[in-house]
Chains A and B, each alone.
Chain A
Amino acid sequence: MNEQLNLGQFMLQQSDKLLDQTIAHIGLTCISLLIAVAIGLPLGIWIADKKRIAWFVLGIAGILQTIPSIALLGFMIPLLGIGALPAISALFLYALLPVIRNTYTGITGVDPAITESARGMGMNKWQILFNVEIPLAMPVILAGIRTATVINVGVATLAAYIAAGGLGEFIFGGIALNNTNMILAGAIPAALLAILLDFLLSLFQKANLKKMRKVSLVLPVLLILFSSFYIIPYTSEKVLAGFTPEFMGREDGYLGLKSKYKLDIPTVVISDAVMYKAAFEKKLDVISGYSTDGRLKAYDLVTLKDDKTIFPPYYAAPLIRQDILQKHPELQKVLEILSGVINDSIMTELNYRVDYQKQLPEKVALDFMLEKGLYKKPQSGSGSGTIRLGSKIFAEQYILINMYKMLIEGNTKLKVVTRTGLGGTKICFDALTNNEIDMYPEYTGTGLLVILKPDKKTLDPIIGNREKVFDFVQKEFSDQYKLSWLKPIGFNNAYALMMRRGQAQSLRIKTISDLKNYLSNENHQH
């Protein structure tokens, strides 16, 4: 049903969320910008007549700028946790360099004859700064603020990864859910926002030199105004849920929790990369994890029983192009060697080694293969062909494709190249159908709900049943995409709601219905 909506209808239907996200986006951008200006401007002025310190300060700010934004957000989590605070801090660091550098350049670029005549008339240092240097440097400073603004609008999309909201919620949700409308509903407003803010600032910049004194007053006021749109989306609720962007948009996720369980829980959106840790650190109480995730073990979390079965089975199996299977029929047997070897707890253990003990996926895969006696020396491919393996970006997929690589190289004469880190489902699946990779491990539930998206009538009778789901996706993928699902490996990496063991026990929550009952009792007490 949803896939028939066009972009306009989607945005209209989601207008509440869109407005919230846009406001959060503007807020994140403007608050971080305001702080960057409040710190970068005085710093740039201060270093303007100190060549050596200037070199040092600009160097540091430059280094901060080169840190990939997602990594910078990652660094923030251990320091500041999740939510608006680390997001604003990261955005602030990004905005800092253009502000400092342009202030420095602007102030040092003021004609020395003018500052000297100001001195000669008896203006003191501060009078010269505020009446001469800042107004004359303002066009250059504004150019820096514009650069910082555009950078921040872009980077602020990543704030959705750490529960700070913003238009990234739609963008990353859309990528995860293979929902183009959702991606565009986030991306287009973000782009428009960048253009709009840049345009507004350009108006200030064009207000010629003569009006610069007024600009220096109006700009901070406007920034504060914009910032105040945003109320830090942090609640002091007793129970706070953090769900991934993907989970938020899925029928077998947040939507199902609401419709089938009538679960009403304060929720923030967050990346699964930081979600488990946030739960462990009591920043979140309920998260949407994967049942085989190694961090489940690492952080002592328990899964809540899905007593109304809204989460379909997610059995992992190799998804492969049929033309490759026809060309190399020996592959099927090799790829199915793993079948029945790995169950839920083994997979959790393997993931734990990578996610928590920080072992390399290659090593974990090799150790496991050796332990099970499945490892064979590579037959040093004699050039009969190359198989391209893809994976999404999480530990389990890295481990699995390393195992498949060993199996193929050990049991056939084929060579293997790996394309790891293909983002989410949509990116992997598109790479496969576009013949950029030959195979990647996929989950039956994902194939069903993210790619095939059958209507309710088709879905309801099969969703709870492992075999029926597998048969359905196998048939449909073969018909529609000429892709084959090989035999499932054996573990079920399904969605699950998770809580800290201690909290779950003390609140006596074992199932999702327990959670729902607990929450509605809480609400009644208010």
Chain B
Amino acid sequence: MIIARNVSKEFNGIKAVDNISFDVEKGQTLVFLGTSGCGKTTTLKILNRLIEPSAGEITIDGKNILSVQPEILRRSIGYVSQNNGLFPHYTVAENIAIVPNLLKWDKAKTSERSDILLEQLKLPVSGYANKYPDELSGGQKQRVALARALVSDPPVLLMDEPFGALDPITRAGVRKEFLELPELKSKTIVLVTHDVQEAFELGDQICLMDKGIIVQTGTPEELIFTPVNEFARNFFSHQRLQLELSALKFNSIWSSLADASPSSATSLNSNQSLWEGMEMLSEKNEETLVVRNSEDNSFKEISIQTIQSVYLQNKRNR
């Protein structure tokens, strides 16, 4: 869906982004991860031409982005900026209607679409449509910003530290909703964050960036278990165990687990991580839980002990 080749950006002779290339598959989420100043936000803004690249070529859905007028390009790409960027003088409904108005949608269509999104994001129309941003909580603002980016159903969504302004608890909650939102399932998403946990939870692929270059691109599993160099290894060192458990999905160790009888009480899915399994065990205070594989409808049993042994075994094998 998105193909970037040899993209560079110089500001006054300093290379903020230095000859990077990456691909994003349709429906996948790519996360740019790195410390501040590594070039991740610049890279994101190059994609919708908020920043014009100094060199390189980018195509979205086969079209070179430089061949489209910037405003037209941006209207076709969802964008959630840092600190939500809601217009303080517009109501929630007006904020959401900005892009539809630019696209000259008729009013009925806009409000219908806006209502659906607000419902999905648990902001009932009756209570929230006519509120102003300063009357909302941080999490609610972020959800409105998301609705605003999604309203015209763009195939590509760019998100710049979308949860950066939220406190840790709200952030975890909004992130969870984000993952469950049906609207987002089919979107091609590029997201920027400095939060490793967030990158692991949301990213199908992660680009680890440093000083304007991509250090490593891969799945969370690849990044944590097979770092390409010292930088990549050190980047995750201080929460390695949690990240490793987050990177491992039940799918990838399915054969190592003991079968269980089908149970309606299963609360875990095989595409979830060992970390989530452990969280669930501890949360529900259960000895064992059942995981369901939705592809072949098989069931496996897990416990803290089995997770531990499977994890260690997996680690030894690498």
Give the B-binding residues of A (Cβ under 8 A).
113-114, 116-124, 127, 131-132, 135-136, 209-210, 212-213
Contact = CB atoms under 8 A, between A and B. Distances in A.
A124 B69 CA distance: 11
Contacts of B158: 120
Which residue of A116, A120, A132, A212 has the most chain B CB atoms within 10 A of its CB atom? A120
Contact of A116 (B50, B72, B91): B50
A212 B89 CA distance: 8
Interface of B: 48, 50, 71-76, 79, 81-89, 91, 98-99, 102, 132, 148, 158
B85 A117 contact: yes
26 contacts: A114-B87, A114-B88, A116-B85, A117-B84, A117-B85, A119-B74, A120-B50, A120-B158, A121-B75, A121-B98, A121-B99, A122-B71, A122-B73, A122-B99, A123-B71, A123-B98, A124-B71, A127-B102, A131-B87, A132-B87, A135-B89, A136-B88, A209-B89, A210-B89, A210-B91, A213-B89
Contacts of B50: 116, 119-120
Contacts of B73: 122
A209 B88 contact: yes
Q: What's the dominant secondary structure at chain A's contact region?
A: helix
A209 B134 CA distance: 11
Given A127-B102, A210-B132, A120 B89 contact: no
A290 B235 CA distance: 92
Contact of B79 (A120, A127, A131, A136): A120
Per CB-CB distance, the 10 closest pairs between chain A and chain B, nearest first, are A117-B85, A122-B75, A122-B74, A120-B79, A117-B81, A209-B89, A122-B71, A113-B83, A124-B71, A113-B85
Contacts of A123: 71, 98, 102
Contacts of A122: 71-76, 99, 102
A113 B82 contact: yes
Contacts of B74: 119-122
Contacts of A120: 48, 50, 74, 79, 81, 85, 158
Which residue of B48, B74, B89, B102 has the most chain A CB atoms within 10 A of its CB atom? B89
A260 to B, nearest CB: 66
A384 to B, nearest CB: 75
A127 B81 CA distance: 18
Contacts of A131: 87
A113 B99 contact: no
A291 to B, nearest CB: 66
Given A121-B98, A122-B75, A127-B102, A113 B88 contact: no
Contact of B102 (A117, A121, A136, A213): A121
Contact of A113 (B75, B76, B81): B81
Contacts of B79: 117, 120-121
A121 B86 CA distance: 11
Nearest to B145: A117
A56 B292 CA distance: 71
Contacts of B85: 113-114, 116-118, 120
Contacts of A118: 85, 87, 98
Nearest to B165: A113
Contacts of A209: 88-89
A475 B87 CA distance: 79
Nearest to A114: B85
B178 to A, nearest CB: 18
